[in-house]
Chain A
């Protein structure tokens, strides 16, 4: 790690002030499970690290506007136990899949949403786009864990967030504060992620000096939700593909549905057409299969990752069935 200053604000306003020094070459420290490793590899080299763990307003979970407002510094084990999140099963499924007590204690919701891609070219110092002498290292090299959607541009990594699919399926919004202490905007999480076209662009809309303060979940009426992650290992691992579904069923037919795939593209992918064909019909195994086929029909796999199309397909099908408690939804 390169040397850096360490700042420990007590309030959100103080945090933003501290983030804006050094021309904005600062980093937000939450649980540290990603940032510390990025700084060890010198992939992130801030002049100052702003540790948010002592800002009480960022660690609350409370009811708001009928929904739930979760501070970005809330840890996974706090989310797992919190009664206000009982109706948001798809989030619980993600925490169950993070099979390490250490990461559940350290990891935060905001940290997960801002986790940088695990692309091995990026993590080895070749940048998010991994282009060397005009050649895409991902395209020419080992791309078994890379994108099968949205990979026609320069970016071919997959979005690392494990909560984003479930949260986007629920219609969650994020509160972005900064750069000035008075500035705050609420944006749908669906619009939070971007696919960088240039090497100096990031993976989210966050600008220097900004941070996510809270995540807001809409009221849970009758919706049922689930996340299905395809994990290779029993222990701590990243999903090869994932899907989250949030469906509302009334009178035996689907009234509303949202399906979001994760770890298949540089951003979470909303499978709009797949969700639409479910509307007005019973959610049967056949219907889930059909939706899954449609969800992956536009996939453009790279040379080594064609297998991920089937994994994403299965994840969509099982997330739908898991949401309604059907045995074919798996565990």
Chain B
């Protein structure tokens, strides 16, 4: 990234990170500065033209609403990782050529690093963290474990989300379709055989 350090991410009077620490809660809805902002956030609405300055927006991530104060140039990946601590999605290549930043936006596999956070206002965002519910994990996650589909693990969350999205849409996919659908994810360790085996097993069961 050329200029991550000088990005003005939060407003001058409000430090989100400290707020989150202090409150011990991830939901920061009470931190809204004015009633006007609150109304805008509740409507999941942003004005038609948003200035280049930091603006408070509401993002729905893994079923909860979060308020973040970011400039329009901040990507969804940066918000998820740096502001909201959903560090499952990874940045590998900032041109969107690797798929490690895959999350679901309204159910569709999306490269979080190639989408502005502000574009996602009013949408439902799901990260890999949403695939865990207490002790239960999504079959794609357990399938990755079963088929030893990871080595260093860095690409794994993006691969898991791409696999989840792919199987949601193609529950009975063939091996060839799986290889094509997941072609946007790169694993430098070369764990593709395990990943396709996992996806194939789930596809044979109807995509669960």
Query: Which residues of A are in contact with B by a Cβ distance under 8 Å?
Result: 1-10, 14, 18, 29, 32-33, 36-37, 39-42, 48-49, 51, 53, 77, 96, 99-103, 105-106, 234-236
Say yes or no: B48 contacts A1, CB within 8 Å: no
What are 23 sample pairs from A and B whose C-beta atoms fall under 8 A apart?
A1-B73, A2-B73, A4-B52, A5-B51, A6-B49, A7-B48, A8-B49, A29-B116, A32-B114, A32-B115, A36-B114, A37-B96, A40-B2, A49-B116, A99-B179, A100-B99, A101-B162, A102-B109, A102-B162, A103-B184, A106-B111, A234-B179, A235-B186
- B44-66 interface code vs A (CB 8 A; 1 in, 0 out): 00101111110000000000000
Say yes or no: B48 contacts A3, CB within 8 Å: no
- B95-130 interface code vs A (CB 8 A; 1 in, 0 out): 111010010000011110111101100000000000
Q: Does B183 contact A (CB under 8 A)?
A: yes
Interface size on B, residues (CB 8 A): 42
Say yes or no: A8 contacts B72, CB within 8 Å: no
Known contacts A6-B49, A53-B119; is A37 also within 8 Å of B94 by CB?
Answer: yes
Known contacts A3-B71, A5-B72, A100-B99; is A106 also within 8 Å of B184 by CB?
Answer: no
Query: Which residues of B are in contact with A by a Cβ distance under 8 Å?
Result: 1-3, 46, 48-53, 71-73, 75, 94-97, 99, 102, 108-111, 113-116, 118-119, 162, 165-166, 169, 179-186
* Cα(A41)–Cα(B46), bound, Å: 27
* Cα(A53)–Cα(B49), bound, Å: 14
Nearest-Cβ distance from residue A35 to partner chain B, whole angstroms: 9
Nearest-Cβ distance from residue A22 to partner chain B, whole angstroms: 11
Say yes or no: A37 contacts B183, CB within 8 Å: no
**15 other A-B residue contacts (CB within 8 Å) besides A4-B52, A234-B183:** A3-B72, A5-B72, A6-B72, A8-B49, A33-B111, A36-B96, A77-B108, A99-B179, A101-B165, A101-B169, A102-B162, A234-B179, A235-B184, A235-B185, A235-B186
